[in-house]
């Protein structure tokens, strides 16, 4: 195998392990220089080294030689090349982006960084950048914190943005017998804020993450500044015919289910338009790398089951408790969302007449499908939340 190009050596020489915690003692990345060759970077014991391409890599980064040279020459070009599509990352977005950040040469204390945080309950994987009022970002069902990578980039110039992998997802711990309901996730988020010494934070969430954000605000209103809810999952108001069956179903069956990657990937591509391109393709890879593990699959089944079982009414019912919410709130809805229909907005307006609403021409993930409008709305809204409602840390 030919010796690696100088620009790859330059990147590896800049590797900074303090901003990249991959939760594994040994990480292998494949760097592909289109039309010229490929080399592996092995990260272990806090150091990186170049080796010939060999064993299966955890992540694959592919680009033309010109892009790699720009990365090596300009310390800040890594994320620009990735966002523009000139650099593709597949299999493990966390590991691939972590490598780009760790080789950027940036040294500012509030630069983008990945960390694993030991909380009172579980170890949680985080992605953080910026300074100012803290913002906790919570991903949706089947996603990971990487779905908020555009949000971290967009808001970190004025906020300290902390995106997390919920327990059971991404690189966080996956306790087998956890409830994986809204309360469990909300308690885990509070444990994370405690571990980070954050007394109060704005909270934003997409899909399941929006439901968790609401749960945090309803159970711990003193810990939340403003709420930014992106197509949040909400308790069903209509009759649920599968309720008796799902109450009996055991999500632990996911521990033994055989789920070949090609079969699952084919199903996803039928459900998600353009799932083979750009950010959507990276999101599919993030889903697959968790779903195709027994613990990750069991957690996904459990969380999906709990969304359906979420009681709408009664003393502990979602809509009953939601009516008492006092937190400043912005709801962002997708007009083409097939999972959380925009019709829910009418029910929310009836229940929370003070809440703000934004409708966008998108599906279920506004921060990726309509990033400019979504992040402009979030930045404006969170900046207007009264100073008394948020503690700067």
Report how far residue 188's alpha carbon sits from residue 178's, in angstroms, rounded to the nearest whole number.
Answer: 11
What confidence tens digit (pLDDT) does each residue in 323-352 have? 999 999 999 999 999 889 999 999 999 999
pLDDT for residue 391: 47
What confidence tens digit (pLDDT) does each residue in 186-238 have? 999 999 999 999 999 999 999 999 999 999 999 999 999 999 999 999 998 77
- Phi, psi angle pair for 242, to nearest 5°: -90, 5
Beta strand spans in 78-184 (E): 87-90, 113-118, 123-129, 133-138, 159-164
What is each CA distance from 291 to 15, 160, 176, in whole angstroms?
30, 30, 14
| Strand 201-206 versus strand 224-230 pairing type | parallel
Domains and CATH numbers, the chain: 6-102 (3.30.1050.10), 113-389 (3.40.50.1820)
**Token representation of residue 296:** 């990750």
Q: What is the DSSP string of 327-372?
A: SEEEEEEETT-SSS-TTHHHHHHHH-TT-EEEEES--S-HHHHSHH
62: nearest Cα among 93, 86, 28: 86
Identify whether the C-beta of residue 201 lies closer than 8 Å to the C-beta of residue 223.
yes
Report how far residue 90's alpha carbon sits from residue 130's, in angstroms, rounded to the nearest whole number.
Answer: 26
Identify whether the C-beta of residue 145 lies closer than 8 Å to the C-beta of residue 126.
yes
Report how far residue 193's alpha carbon sits from residue 136's, in angstroms, rounded to the nearest whole number.
Answer: 9
- pTM to 2 decimal places: 0.89
pLDDT for residue 252: 54
With a cut of 60, say whether residue 297 has pLDDT above it: yes
């Amino acid at each position: 195998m030919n010796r690696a190009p100088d620009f790859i050596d330059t990147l590896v020489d800049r590797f900074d392990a303090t901003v990249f915690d991959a939760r594994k003692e040994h990480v292998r990345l494949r760097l592909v220089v289109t039309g010229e060759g490929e080399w592996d970077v092995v990260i272990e014991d806090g150091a990186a080294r170049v080796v010939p391409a060999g064993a299966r890599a955890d992540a694959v980064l592919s680009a033309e030689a010109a892009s790699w040279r720009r990365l090596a020459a300009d310390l800040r070009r890594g994320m620009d090349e990735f966002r523009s599509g000139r650099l593709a990352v597949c299999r493990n977005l966390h590991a691939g982006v972590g490598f780009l950040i760790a080789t950027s040469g940036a040294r500012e204390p509030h630069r983008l960084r990945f960390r694993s945080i030991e909380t009172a309950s579980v170890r949680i994987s985080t992605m953080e950048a910026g300074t100012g009022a803290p913002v906790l970002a919570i991903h949706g069902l089947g996603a990971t914190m990487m779905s908020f990578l555009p949000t971290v980039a967009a808001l970190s110039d004025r906020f300290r943005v902390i995106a997390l992998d919920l327990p059971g997802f991404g690189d966080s711990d996956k306790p087998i017998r956890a409830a994986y309901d809204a309360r469990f996730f909300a308690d885990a988020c509070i444990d994370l804020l405690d571990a980070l010494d954050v007394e109060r934070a704005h909270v934003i969430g997409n899909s399941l993450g929006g439901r968790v954000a609401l749960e945090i605000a309803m159970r711990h209103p003193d810990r939340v500044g403003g709420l930014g809810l992106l197509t949040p999952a909400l308790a069903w108001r209509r009759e649920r015919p599968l309720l008796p069956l799902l109450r009996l179903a055991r999500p632990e069956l996911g521990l033994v289910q055989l789920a070949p990657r090609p079969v699952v990937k084919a199903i996803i591509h039928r459900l998600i338009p353009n799932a083979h391109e750009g950010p959507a393709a990276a999101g599919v890879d993030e889903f697959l790398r968790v779903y195709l593990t027994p613990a990750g699959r069991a957690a996904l089944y459990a969380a999906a089951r709990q969304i359906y079982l979420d009681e709408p009414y009664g003393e502990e019912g979602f809509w009953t408790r939601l009516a008492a919410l006092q937190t400043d709130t912005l709801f962002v809805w997708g007009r083409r969302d097939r999972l959380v229909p925009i019709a829910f907005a009418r029910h929310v307006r009836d229940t929370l007449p003070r809440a703000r609403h934004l409708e966008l021409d998108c599906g279920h993930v506004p921060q990726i499908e309509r990033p400019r409008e979504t992040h402009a709305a979030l930045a404006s809204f969170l900046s207007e939340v009264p100073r008394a409602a948020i503690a700067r840390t």
